[in-house]
Structures are given as structure tokens and as C-alpha cells.
Amino acid sequence: MLRRALVGYVRAVAEAVDVSVEGTSCEVADTVTAYVALSRRSPRYPGRDLMLLWNSRQGWTLSVETRPAEPPLVVARLGGDVVPEPALVGRFVVEVVSAPDNGAWTTPPSRAADRGELAARLERRVRPVVRRS
């Protein structure tokens, strides 16, 4: 149940940030995580790809794609609900990429109590996806 809910949620977020499903991955193991490769770039990090990372404890983080030997480079964190509406994730990406200061997005996230609650919250966020022509 959790895996299916996570896949649906990540697909909805990918749609909200205008990314193909092929640019996403997710995993349910001892941790619950997701990755979305962004097609947008930030003028603050020219020539560097951006990504969205999600986990069930911290929610969404917008980061610079790094090489294996590089330390992670977090650009901003989306605070509040650890499972926000996909449209809010889309606005977060647009505003962080285009704004010189992203401090408004760095509030701490709220957490799901357990995997059952997490699955229910993920499923509530999934709306029917309308494909663009």
C-alpha cells in the first residue's frame, strides 16, 4: 500500500514540476524516499542540474546535483506538511529557482506518525493527472 501511494504521489509531483516520470525514482525500504530530476536550472548555480529529494522525515529538499565526491548542496527545504500538495511543491520550485533569497521556504516539516498514516497522507495528495497535449 505504501509503495503504491508513494509512486502515485511522486508522479503527481513530477507533473506539477513539469518533469517526465522517467526523471523520477522512489523507494520504500528502511527509509521512504523519492527523487525528481528537475529540468530547471538556477542562475545561482550556472551549469549545474537541480533535483528534488523527498523523505518521510524531512519532506522535500531542492538541491544541486553533485558528483559522488562532493558534499550535498541544499538550496532550500519546503517546510510544513511532510506530504504537501503537489501544486505547492511546484510553486516552491519556481520561487526558489527564480528568487535571490529562499529563506522563506526553510521552515521545519511536520512528520507522519507511522507508515500507515504516511500511506494515507500520500494517497490523499494524489489527484487524477491531466496530460498536456
pLDDT beyond 70 at 129: no
Work out whether the CA dihedral 56, 59, 60, 61 comes out positive or negative: negative
What pLDDT is recorded for position 16?
Answer: 97
Sorted by where each begins, the domain ranges of the chain are 2-125
Asked if pLDDT for residue 29 goes beyond 80, the answer is yes
b/e 23-61 (16+ beta carbons within 10 angstroms → b): ebebebeeebbbebbbeeebeeeeeeebbbbbebebbbb
pTM: 0.78
Q: What is the pLDDT of residue 1?
A: 86
Query: Residues of the chain with pLDDT > 90: what percent?
Result: 50
